[in-house]
Structure 1
Amino acid sequence: MKVKLYHPTREIILKGPKQVAVLLRELNLPKEAHLVICGDELVTEDLVIPDDQTVEIRPVISGGE
């Protein structure tokens, strides 16, 4: 699977299928601080991502007044 990461922006290739929670753990990314997007959908940590998919992992950013 292709994984797009941000801050800094980069792409990596990993073997799948892989559960979202496992993917985040392997990348040392806290699940509470990241959103995982597969296709056009925000996915939960229990979803298994097939090997032929592209996922985006974005950090959660809060702010405002």
Structure 2
Amino acid sequence: MKIRLHNPRREVETTGPLRASDLCKQLGLNRESVLLIRGDELVTGDALLQEEDVVEVRPVISGG
């Protein structure tokens, strides 16, 4: 599975299948501080990610 991270911008690979929450743990990310996107779909923490998936990890940004 290909993982595209932002801030800093980099790309890593890992094996699947893997739950989205476990991927965050593996990458050392707080699940509540990032959005996981597969294709055009927002991925929930319990979603099962497959070996062939490309997942984009974006930081959550809030403001007002």
Aligned partners of 1:43 and 1:8: how far apart in 2?
Answer: 21
SS in 2 for 1:22: helix
| Structure number with bigger Rg | 1
SS in 1 for 2:35: strand
Query: Which residue in 2 is equivalent to 1:59?
Result: 59
TM norm structure 1: 0.95
The percent of aligned pairs where both chains have the same amino acid is: 47
SS in 1 for 2:21: helix
Aligned partners of 1:41 and 1:28: how far apart in 2?
Answer: 22
Structure 1 unaligned residues grouped into runs of 5+: none
Matches within 5 A, 1:1-65: 1-64=1-64
TM norm structure 2: 0.96
Aligned partners of 1:31 and 1:22: how far apart in 2?
Answer: 9
Aligned partners of 1:43 and 1:50: how far apart in 2?
Answer: 12
Aligned length: 64
Aligned partners of 1:34 and 1:41: how far apart in 2?
Answer: 14
Aligned partners of 1:30 and 1:13: how far apart in 2?
Answer: 19
Structure 2 unaligned residues grouped into runs of 5+: none
